[in-house]
Amino acid sequence: MDDTLRIDARALRLIASMTLALATSLTQSSVGQEAAVPTAPAVVAASQGVAAAQSVAVPTATPQPQLLRGPAGSQLASVRPAPSYASAFGSFLGLSNRQSSNAELNQYYRSTSRRRLVKVPEMFGDFRRFNSVLAYRTGSQDLTGDLPHAGGVSGLKVAENNQAITSDRAWISYSHMHDAYSQSNGLGQSSDASADRFLLGIEKTFADGAWSLEARLPLAGSLDDDAFDGGTMGDVSLILKHLLYAGQCRATSMGLGIELPTGDDGRLLNRSVETVLESDAVHLVPFFASTNRMGARIFGHLFAQLDIPLGDDDLIVNDVAFATTNASVDAAFTGSIDLGIGYWLLPPNSVADSGLAAIAELHYTSRLDSTDPVVFPGTSINTTTIHPGGEAITDVLNITTGLHAELSGEWAMRLASSVPVTNDKLFDTEIIVQLNRKF
């Protein structure tokens, strides 16, 4: 019994010592883990410190516009729309969904979009108003001839050296029209005369480019045939242009030209008959114009106009065999459409402001009225007939081709030729030289 109790006491002490050793081991393990892993408040403080350090070391980046790649290259992914302008009438015509404010007009006037359109080379154009033709019958002989009008160099063509956008510029143009006038003296002899014309022009914008006013002064060189005399002064023209819409690649405008009767009298001497055509009628020329840029190299123009004569031109026929006779002659009422397309062979850029462009144009003019010939009574043998605006000419189609050289300092030199396509023609060939300066 005593031995049994003694064994049980030993067993209990052994179990107690083992339990104590296990408890001590667990306690030491727990203390080691606490030293390796911080308590919850320490972890929070450490994470806040790291976040603060990151906010100081790496600031938040502001999104920047990114360049698009591929077909839309060289464009910004997030940019403001290019400035544009639409007048009240342009908005009414549906060229824009609303009228632009004065601030938007001012912004467009100073924009790169407008400067690029102003840089588009102007249309060359063509020239000549339909001639009145004299037919004089004396016995069995018929004398015919073209009558020079207002220096032989008048007739307003708005498209000539022009474009739809308004701009500040000055220019001078020289035109040589080969065989512009012809006559036959009834003896089987005929002669032709060529005409030379100088045209001075200046255009000035106002109202932040919404409007411009252009003045043109034509001057004539002497005709190379003594039978013709047109003087040196042509009819002065004024052109008021209003910008309907203008954007990054297109400009549309309309306006009114007016040709004033300031030119010298035109004379035709055919044997014993001298015919004098005075410049008295005012011509109103309403027009519509559009200029387009199609990419970096291609550009085009469209002009449409009417030439509406107001009043008559006085005609005087001096026949040595009869008394002087006076009459009034109606000028021709015509409509014109001008189309042009150009291509920059060497486009201007930010490095070199100079460039070279090739231009091709079509110019169509049609007579829109029919005027009766004016017959001067003489005798049963001698009669004089004037065919206003020509007897048979009704439709004229000319092709103009040329080169535009853009020079430094806003200068441009231009050279072109115009030739008729139809049998109705006002000259055999026209050579055009133009010098432009923009401001």
Task: Name the pLDDT band for 214 (thresholds 50, 70, 90).
Answer: very high
Identify the pLDDT of residue 10.
64
392-404 residue pLDDT tens: 677 899 999 999 9
Q: How is 377-415 classified by DSSP, letter by letter?
A: ---SSEEEEEETT-SS--EEEEEEEEEEEE-GGGEEEEE
b/e string for 263-276 if b means 16 or more Cβ within 10 A? bbbbbbbbbebbbb
Tokens found for residue 220: 């004539």
Summarize the confidence of residues 125-147 as an average pLDDT: 68
In this prediction, what percent of the chain has a pLDDT beyond 70? 67
Q: Which helix (H) or strand (E) holds 53?
A: helix 40-57
Does the pLDDT of residue 436 top 60, yes or no?
yes
Element (H, E) at 316: strand 313-319
143 has pLDDT over 70: no
The single-letter code of the amino acid at 335 is G
Block residue for tokens 């919404």: 210
Answer whether residue 142 shows pLDDT above 90. no
Q: Does 430 have pLDDT greater than 80?
A: yes
Percent of the chain with pLDDT over 90: 45
To the nearest whole number, what is the mean pLDDT of the chain?
79
For residues 53-69, give the mean pLDDT.
46
Give the residues across from 348 on adjacent strands: none
Q: What is the pLDDT of residue 358?
A: 99
Q: Is the pLDDT of residue 56 over 80?
A: no
Give 388's pLDDT tier (boundaries 50, 70, 90). Answer: low
In this structure, of 22-36, 154-168, 247-261, 402-416, the range with the lowest mean pLDDT score is: 22-36
For residue 389, give both structure tokens: 């605006």
Q: What is the pLDDT of residues 268-302, one digit of tens each?
A: 776 667 778 888 889 999 999 999 999 999 999 99
Both tokens of 51, joined, read: 């976040």
Distance in angstroms (rounded) separating the CA atoms of residues 18 and 9 = 14
pLDDT of residue 383: 63
- Average pLDDT (22-47) is 46
Mean predicted confidence (pLDDT) in 170-186: 84
Residue 259 in this model has a pLDDT that exceeds 80? yes
The residue-averaged pLDDT of 327-341 equals 89
Identify the pLDDT of residue 35. Answer: 43
Class of residue 256 by CB neighbours under 10 A (exposed 0-12, middle 13-18, buried 19+): middle
- Sign of the CA dihedral 144, 146, 150, 152? negative
| Residue 150 vs residue 113, higher pLDDT | 113
Any idea what DSSP says for residue 151? G
pTM > 0.85: no
* Number of other CB atoms surrounding residue 302 within 10 Å: 18
pLDDT value of position 65: 44
Q: Which of 91-95, 111-115, 152-156 has the lowest mean pLDDT?
A: 152-156
**DSSP type of residue 365:** E
| pLDDT above 90 (res 253) | yes
Q: What is the pLDDT of residue 270?
A: 65
Q: How confident is the model at residue 84 (pLDDT cuts 50, 70, 90)?
A: very high
Among the listed ranges 114-118, 177-181, 353-357, 426-430, which one has the minimum average pLDDT value? 177-181
